[in-house]
Amino acid sequence: MSNYVGSIDLGTTSNRFILFDKKGNIFASAQKEHKQIFPKPGWVEHDPLEIWKNTCSVIKEVMDKPSVSVASIDSIGITNQRETSIVWNRETGKPYYNAIVWQCTRTDDICKNLVSEAGEDFFTQKTGLPVATYFSGPKVKWVFDNIPEVKQDVFSGNVLFGTIETWIIWWLTGGPKNGSHITDVSNASRTMMMDIYSLEWDKELLGAIGIPGSILP
């Protein structure tokens, strides 16, 4: 009989795995910090492979505790830093670049160009968001503009994009061996690429930013 509900917490500074009992009390938990990378002033990155490794580590630490087994866990949920963005290769699982964190301001010029070319209202009316460095769309645009390999590989269908939960779920469900490339609206709504009324990726938004829909979860 299952006794616990698990939570994978993919935070800005650390990963945690927590087991709650039926009364909502914490039964067991483990936490591991990951490195904050600052290549230039205003730039913030994480190593996606370190995040995956640390996720495995904290899950194992909790699962190794007495009385905990796979059968004892009813379900597992994920909470995560929303806008942090990763672009990786479907066949190898290798990121093309580090995760660009929500705090990173490198896309300021991209955002200014989007406002100049399409107008801020164009984005706000569909997404409910201002055009800002905070959100995922401009971050993915930066990767496409600055990592030539991404543009080469996109034509073969091997380029994937995801926020942190998409990255971890993909690996947990098999990674390069047919892992599930999925997200939910709470994450997708923070990308500047989803229409909040239809709850679908929007072709006009993608066209304005310059991102192919084939890479999206």
- Please write the tens of the pLDDT for every residue from 36-76: 999 999 999 999 999 999 999 999 999 999 889 899 999 99
Tens of pLDDT along the chain (217 residues) come to 679 999 999 999 999 999 999 999 999 999 999 999 999 999 999 999 999 999 999 999 999 998 898 999 999 999 999 999 999 999 999 999 999 999 999 999 999 999 999 999 999 999 999 999 999 999 999 999 999 999 999 999 999 999 999 999 999 999 999 999 999 999 999 999 999 999 999 999 999 999 999 999 9
Residue 111 CA: distances (Å) to CA of 63, 105, 133, 136: 44, 10, 7, 11
d(CA 26, CA 38): 34
Give the pLDDT of residue 62: 96
| Strand-by-strand arrangement of the 99-100 sheet | 45-46, 99-100, 85-89, 159-163
Give pLDDT, residue 67: 85
Buried b (16+ CB within 10 A) or exposed e, 66-104: eebeeeebeeeebebbbbbbbbbbbeebebbbbbbbbbb
**Among residues of the chain, what percentage have pLDDT more than 70?**
100
> Contact, 117 vs 170, CB < 8 A?
no
CATH number at residue 198: 3.30.420.40
CB 73 within 8 A of CB 19: yes
**Structural domains of the chain, count:** 1
Q: Which domain holds residue 136?
A: 4-215
Quote the pLDDT of residue 160.
Answer: 99
Tell me which residue of 170, 142, 155, 136 sits closest to 212, measured CA to CA: 155
Phi, psi of 77, rounded to the nearest 5 degrees: -110, 165
